[in-house]
Amino acid sequence: MPSVFYYTLGCKLNYSETSTYQRQFEAQGCKSVPTPTEATICILNSCAVTEQAQKKCRQELHKMRRLHPEAFIVLVGCYADLMLKEAQVIDTVDLIVARHDKRRLAELVLDSLQGKAHTPSCTAGDENYFPAFSKGGRTRAFLKIQDGCNYHCTYCAIPQARGESRSATIAEVLEQVQAIAEAGILEVVITGVNTGDFGKAHHERFIDLMRALDTIEAIQRYRISSLEPNLLSNDLIDFVAKSRAFLPHFHIPLQSGSDAVLRAMGRRYTTQRYAERIAKAREWVGNFFLGIDLIVGFPGETEADFEKTYHFLEELAPSYLHLFPYSQRPDTPAATYPNQVPPMIIKRRMEQLMQLNAALQERYTHLFINTTQKVLVERISKDGVAEGHTENYLPTKFSVKKAQHATIVPVLLTDYLGEGIVAGKEI
């Protein structure tokens, strides 16, 4: 049977889908291999959130072909759907699988190897939900509960790549979580394009899913990978504050600290509303880890807009900034906006925010030095150093005494090592 190599770029959603493709192939008797040179089939699960991401996709496709000229190379993911016509002329690709055909990727690939013709299209087919989750030797699983987005922010091409918002049912998600629990995985990261939009087609709500997940005692930790600010409701905050297993960790995209820029982006909140939601969460949940997405250099972002963003972040004091330089996406309104910000100005603003991010990380981390935190042991090196994350998502390193892989142990945090990482001692 064929052997398969997988390469994944982009978000947690892509990683959950790659693991599902792997299970598809393994169910057909195929084996997974760690390098393209060993593979009959090479799968690239692609990203197109920025031009840099697309460039990386092209580089990896050419690398696969160079390392193994005879391999059957398959392109799937957002780059495949956004750039279908361009991708079809790339001489490195043997098959493109668009989003409507993800659920039968292995079937399409194996049929193509046998000479059966398929012409997947990202304009044909339905928008059925494709369930996916990652599991295996890891201590953490990424669980996809929702896909697509109806928001259509002016800078974003993801609705084009992934389609309209749709999701699994609560019953289907619980069935997947049971499979994850049976693999011995202790932590589940809930992922989606617009996670909080879960369930509308089935007349279900995200908060109801959270309540149901909290009853599965074999899973000791849940994290919500990302949640839109307008969907951070009081009910959701209150539940996280009181739940058994949902952790004090939120990732809430901001994108800009200027209301003028937020309006141009088509975002559904103001900076005042965003700050109010974070303040309410801190009041009820405590000093949780707050990650923020930010786009730097959106068209028309003036120096005054940037200064507003910088000072807003200083006052808000998040734990971590996930920074993206603005990138023109094909067929998005913002790509045609006047006053595109020059690359050198974007670079300077990125550097300023990276310096602020380092200070914010250090400030937040120091709040927990000399405190004992529960750490999930995710790996142990040969020299006996364990690595894992606290409940509030601080990456931690400590020398192993009794701790074992895939266990949760108390660790006294002792020193800040830089880049958000802390050192500790196993208690």
Averaged pLDDT of the chain = 93
Average pLDDT over residues 197-215: 95
Mean pLDDT of 349-374: 98
The residues, any chain, with a CB within 8 Å of residue 308's CB and separated by 6 or more, are: 257, 258, 271
Q: Residue 126: is its pLDDT beyond 50?
A: no
What percent of the chain clears pLDDT 70, i.e. is strictly above it?
95
Per residue in 22-51, pLDDT (tens digit) is: 999 999 999 999 999 999 999 999 998 888
The position carrying tokens 């909080």 is 196
Is 309 in contact with 257 (CB distance < 8 Å)?
Answer: yes
Reference 36, options 78, 79, 69; nearest CA is 69
Per DSSP, the residues of 31-53 read EE-SSGGG-SEEEEEE--SSHHH
pLDDT at 122 (0 to 100): 40
Cβ-contact 44, 70 below 8 angstroms: no
Q: Are 375 and 390 in contact (CB under 8 A)?
A: yes
Six token digits for residue 160: 């084009």
pLDDT in tens, 158-190: 998 899 999 999 999 999 999 999 999 999 999
CA distance 208 to 198: 10
Q: What is the pLDDT of residues 217-259, one digit of tens each?
A: 999 999 999 999 999 999 999 999 999 999 999 999 999 999 9
pTM: 0.92
**Residue 77 pLDDT grade (very low, low, confident, very high; cuts 50, 70, 90):** very high
- Range from 25-29, 132-136, 150-154 carrying the lowest mean pLDDT: 132-136
Sheet with 320-325, edge to edge strand ranges: 249-251, 289-296, 320-325
pLDDT digits (tens, 9 = 90+) for 56-74: 999 999 999 999 999 999 9
CA separation for the pair 229, 242 (Å, rounded): 20
CA–CA gap between residue 26 and residue 351 (Å, rounded): 44
CA distance 251 to 146: 16
Tell whether the model's pLDDT for residue 426 goes beyond 90.
Answer: yes
- Identify which has the larger pLDDT, 91 or 423: 423
pLDDT band at 121 (very low <50, low <70, confident <90, very high): very low
Tell me what pLDDT residue 136 has.
61
pLDDT confidence of residue 98: 87
The closest alpha carbon to 16, from 155, 157, 129, belongs to 129
